[in-house]
Each structure stands twice: as C-alpha cells, then as structure tokens.
C-alpha cells in the first residue's frame, strides 16, 4: 500500500485524539467527519496522543495502550484513508519528547500557569496544588507535536484556542532567537469546526465517556436503540398534545447534526412546537437516521477488527513516515540550538 500523500505542497493539518476510550458521536460531529474531508484538501497527520494521555492516566496505563488500536479502528471505520492521511502514535516518535524538552526553556512557569486551558483542566481534574509537572507543561508538548510536522492548521475546540496561542508564542520566540535568516518553525492557525460540541444523550453539555452519556461509533443496533430511548427531550412535553420545546432538546439537536432531509426536519420541528407530536415519533426518526449512519461504520469496524495485525501495520507505516518528518524538524532545531557535533 502506498502511503504517499496525494499533494505534498498542500498545507499541513494536525489533528488527533487521546486514546482513552472508544470514539463516539461527539467525536464524529466535532472532528472525525471533518477529517474525512480534510484528507483531500491537506496533508493530514492524525496523532494518537498516547504519551499525552499518560499525563493524567499514569494510574491506568493499560487503558491508553488498549485504546490505541480501538481508536485507530474508529478512524478507519469512518473513512479516514491511510493512503491520504498519516496516522501516527505519539510515543513512538521520540523527537516529540525531545522538542518538548527544548521548548520548556522558551516558556516560563508563570506563563504556563496563566494558560486558561491548563487552568480549567487543572480544576476539572481536581489537581489543585498536586499538579503533575507533565500536566502543567503539556502546552510545550502540544507545541512540539504541532511544530514537528510544521502544521499550519490545527482544528480545535473553542476552549483549546489558548493552547494554539501558546504554541505560536514558542514558535515566534524560537524563530526570533535561533532562526537566522529563515524561520525554522511554522506558526499555526486554529480552526474551530462550525458544528460545535454535541451534548450527551442526558442533555449535559458534553458527550463524554466518563459521564456515560455517549453513543459510541461501534455501538450495536440494540445499544443505539436503547440510547435513543434515553435521549433527553423536553421535560414539559408531558402529553402528545402539549406544545414541545426545541431548546436543549437533545433529540432535535442530534437531528440537526445528522438529518440530511432539512425540509422534513423543519416540518417536524413545527409540528412538535405547536403540539400534537409525541417524542416517540421524533425518536423513531432519530433512531432510523443513526442506525443507517452507524451500520456501515460498525460493519467496517468489525471487519477491520478481525485483523488487528493489519491495523498495527497501518499505524507502523504511518508512524514511520511521520517520524521522518519529525526527525527532519528536530535536526533543524538541533542545528539552530548549536547542538550538532558529529
């Protein structure tokens, strides 16, 4: 199989996931779906960020290891094509740790502590004063990941924008100090996908494995059915004849995300809000759409899962290819830092 990207002059885009659990509809809407498009427009690197996942999973490293192949299966099942996208495993590219090491000299402790994303995640994870150093410093690690591949575009959630800003600060400081005539590192641009975050089936703002409110991409037909039954709708919509509300109504939010028959959906919304339409009808439509959408993904996933050796081979080839790129950048950085001798 050729792993050559179709267009080597296209801009580089870096995306990825922490492999801590199976991917779900939230990932599909927020990123996976876009990546299938990106791979025809950009040179796409997709990183399985296992090393970064360890920063707050040092007590359950087996989970990270297990999920590397599971997440790769999700990638391939949704249509990420290893002949177009380079899928890599972060920990297998030591240059990423090496770049991180040097970038730590370009950022102050105070600056890291001011990073809003880091601050929010420290609160979220309940670290308080016992923050692992690797967690505080992970913006430097992320800057290493982005710059190693000279990515000019990084799709992120709104809340991750400060990470991109910090990366660019490091890039500018590096180029200013060690760049000479030609900039060595490349600044990147955050793109925030139009469709925002998908709520969980329980109506909470975020679909998240740890909240148990997800529909996984590999979910069985029964699991999809059961999940749709639980989908949060309008608590004031007690009788079919009552007018229903759309705001915060997860069934309609999901339909907005996945229903391609926009006209039919608009009619259904109108009917629902004026009253006379039961939740069961809405959920039936939603279930049908999700079943249709996920059935081929599940089938591909099951087929691929039969030969995990082949999946590992794809990861190996992608990682090897990515490492060549990262090693080239590391070489330039090492030279700029005066750390070349032999």
Tokens 């082949």 belong to 310
**Positive or negative torsion for Cα 322, 323, 324, 328:** positive
Contact between 108 and its own copies per CB under 8 A:
yes
Counting contacts by CB under 8 A, is residue 95 touching its own copies? yes
Alpha helices, H only, 259-307: 262-274, 279-305
**Least gap, CB of 96 to its own copies (angstroms):** 8
Is 66 or 245 the residue whose CB approaches its own copies more closely? Answer: 66
- Minimum distance from residue 254 beta carbon to its own copies (Å): 35
What is the sign of the dihedral through the CA atoms of 341, 337, 323 and 59? positive
Q: What are phi and psi of 191, to 5 degrees?
A: -115, 130
Residues 190 and 160: their CA atoms lie apart, in Å, by: 9
Regarding 166 and contact with its own copies (CB under 8 A), the answer is no
Helix (H, G, I), strand (E, B) or coil at 107: coil
Q: Which of 91, 142, 214, 329 binds its own copies (CB under 8 A)?
A: 91
Task: Indicate whether 181 belongs to the interface with its own copies (CB under 8 A).
Answer: no
Nearest to its own copies of 166, 233 (CB atom): 166
Any contact of residue 177 with its own copies (CB under 8 A)? yes
Enumerate residues 6+ apart whose C-beta is below 8 A from 254: 25, 198, 231, 286, 290
Q: Counting contacts by CB under 8 A, is residue 110 touching its own copies?
A: yes
DSSP state of 31: I
Contact with its own copies (CB under 8 A): which of 23, 46, 89, 289?
89
**Strands of the sheet with 43-48, listed across from one edge:** 85-89, 43-48, 12-17, 153-155, 189-191
Contact partners, residue 155, CB within 8 Å, separation at least 6: 13, 15, 31, 34, 38, 190, 191, 192, 193
Among 5, 39, 44, 141, indicate the residue that binds its own copies (CB under 8 A): 141
- Binding to its own copies by CB under 8 A, coded x per residue (else -) over 276-315, reads ------------------------------------x--x
Pick the binder of its own copies from 120, 123, 133, 270 (CB under 8 A): 133
Cβ-contact 240, 278 below 8 angstroms = yes
Whose Cβ is closer to its own copies: residue 255's or residue 311's? 311
Looking at beta carbons only, is 169 or 223 nearer to its own copies?
Answer: 169
Which residues contact its own copies (rule: CB under 8 A)? 50-51, 54-55, 58-59, 61-62, 64-65, 68, 89, 91-92, 94-95, 97-98, 100-102, 104-110, 112, 129-137, 140-141, 177-178, 312, 315-316, 319, 330, 334, 337-339, 341-342
């Amino acid at each position: 199989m050729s792993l050559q990207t179709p267009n080597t002059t296209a801009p580089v885009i870096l995306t990825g996931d922490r492999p801590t659990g199976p991917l779900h509809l939230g990932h599909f809407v927020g990123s996976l779906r876009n990546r299938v498009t990106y791979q025809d427009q950009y040179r796409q690197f997709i990183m399985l960020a296992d090393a970064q996942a360890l920063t707050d999973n040092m007590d359950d490293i087996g989970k990270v290891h297990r999920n590397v192949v599971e997440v790769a299966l999700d990638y391939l099942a949704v249509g990420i094509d290893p002949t177009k996208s380079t899928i890599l495993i972060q920990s297998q590219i030591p240059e990423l740790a090496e770049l991180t090491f040097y970038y730590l000299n370009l950022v102050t402790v105070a600056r890291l502590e001011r990073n809003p994303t880091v601050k929010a995640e420290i609160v979220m994870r309940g670290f308080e004063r016992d923050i692992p150093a690797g967690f505080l410093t992970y913006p430097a690690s992320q800057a290493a990941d982005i710059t190693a591949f000279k990515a000019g575009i990084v799709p992120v959630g709104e809340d991750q924008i400060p990470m991109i800003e910090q990366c660019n600060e490091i890039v500018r400081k590096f180029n200013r100090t060690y760049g000479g005539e030609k900039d060595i590192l490349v600044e990147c641009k955050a793109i925030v996908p139009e469709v925002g975050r998908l709520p969980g089936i329980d109506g909470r703002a975020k679909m998240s494995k740890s909240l148990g409110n997800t529909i996984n991409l590999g979910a069985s037909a029964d699991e999809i059915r059961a999940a749709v039954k639980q989908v949060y709708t309008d608590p004031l919509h007690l009788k079919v004849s009552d007018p229903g509300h759309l705001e915060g109504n997860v069934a309609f939010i999901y339909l907005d995300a996945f229903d391609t028959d926009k006209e039919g959906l608009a009619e259904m919304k109108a009917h629902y809000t004026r009253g006379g339409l039961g939740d069961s009808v809405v959920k039936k439509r939603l279930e049908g759409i999700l079943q249709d959408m996920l059935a081929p993904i599940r089938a591909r996933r099951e087929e691929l899962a039969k030969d995990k050796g082949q999946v590992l081979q794809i990861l190996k080839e992608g990682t090897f290819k990515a490492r060549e790129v990262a090693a080239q950048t590391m070489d330039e950085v090492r030279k700029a830092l005066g750390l070349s001798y032999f």
